[in-house]
Amino acid sequence: MTLFSPREPGVLLWRGFTLQEFANQCFGNKADYGKGRQMPIHYGSNKLNYFTVSSTIATQIPHAVGAAYSLKMDKKDACAVTYFGDGGTSEGDFHAAMNFAAVTESPVIFICRNNGWAISTPTSDQFRSDGIAVRGQAYGVRSIRVDGNDALAMYSAVRSARQMAVNEHRPILIEAVTYRVGHHSTSDDSTKYRPADEIEWWRMARDPVTRFRKWIEINGWWGSEAESQLRSSIRSQLLHAIQIAERAEKPPVNDLFTDVYDNIPSNLREQEKLLKETINRHPKDYPADVPI
Ligand SMILES: Cc1ncc(C[n+]2csc(CCOP(=O)(O)OP(=O)(O)O)c2C)c(N)n1
């Protein structure tokens, strides 16, 4: 079971989520597993044990411990893993989750991406501890700090953490030290609060993809021809998936009211009726491709 922030689509891709499934979620069409009720990039997949992404920072951390505790009670040879940023560790949920995991000895891996920034707030304005790993240790959680821009170091740390979590039934915290080279989101301009040359240094000297690519090229497993073929093939697959997702039918309006209550309460029935009456009165103001 894996519990996420919106920054881990790579994990989902690795588990086999298709580009079409990604596109369906982003367009909130009828094939989206969230039935169009989530913001874009808030993926989820029952099949791939991928809990739907939560926007609210850090809420996924105690949920992961709960999932891990239940795996332990069911005596499953499995663990839960959750991802969050350095900003997430400033939330109460992080601290409650650490303690809960330590005392219940639950098999959970906490992966913290310490990228130095929570939007425009640098870590120096968030905490005075020596990073995140010491915070895990303070709660009695085995913790390790890794170069988060070294793919092989991360692989090795996560692999060992999984073995420990599953075989020894214990929580593990991994602090991946990295940097957010992009802006926080498309509505952010990070050059307003950090020097452009700092961003450039991380982009040029420390980029994890470039480093990994260099390593596979040196070993003769990859080259520029394979790279450009892969890039153009993925680009056309992605454009194809987007075209299909864009054209697909939207989920029916009724789906807004399902999946929470077994028997829909009277106030929601009333809202449903009101919504349909309003759509019937102002049909031009509602998207024509949403079935009523
Ligand atoms: C409880 C809560 N407070 C504020 C926000 C607004 N917000 C969205 S992302 C973000 C910063 C997150 O920083 P971090 O946890 O370090 O993750 P990063 O974006 O760097 O990966 C904030 C404050 C939110 N989503 N939830």
For all residues of the chain together, what is the average pLDDT? 95
CATH of region 2-245, choose from 3.30.70.360, 3.40.50.1100, 3.40.50.970, 3.20.20.390? 3.40.50.970
Could you tell me the residue ranges of all domains in the chain?
A: 2-245, 252-285
Return d(Cα 85, Cα 117) in angstroms, integer.
Answer: 9
Per the CB < 8 A criterion, the answer to whether 139 and 196 are in contact is no
Structure confidence at residue 6 (pLDDT): 78
Structure confidence at residue 290 (pLDDT): 84
Structure confidence at residue 287 (pLDDT): 85
Structure confidence at residue 183 (pLDDT): 96
pLDDT category at 24 given cuts 50, 70, 90 is very high
pLDDT tens for 74-90 read: 999 999 999 999 999 99
- Taking CB atoms and a 6 Å cutoff, what residues make up the pocket around ligand 1? 7, 55-57, 84-88, 113, 115, 117-119, 180, 184
Q: Is 180 a catalytic residue?
A: yes
User: Which of 184, 203, 235, 240 is labelled catalytic?
Assistant: 184
Return d(Cα 126, Cα 118) in angstroms, integer.
Answer: 9
Q: Which helix (H) or strand (E) holds 274?
A: helix 266-281
pLDDT tens for 54-112 read: 889 999 999 999 999 999 999 999 999 999 999 999 999 999 999 999 999 999 999 99
Structure confidence at residue 288 (pLDDT): 82
pLDDT tens for 153-207 read: 999 999 999 999 999 999 999 999 999 999 999 899 999 999 999 999 999 999 9
CA of 181 to the centre of ligand 1 (A): 16
CA of 88 to the centre of ligand 1 (A): 7
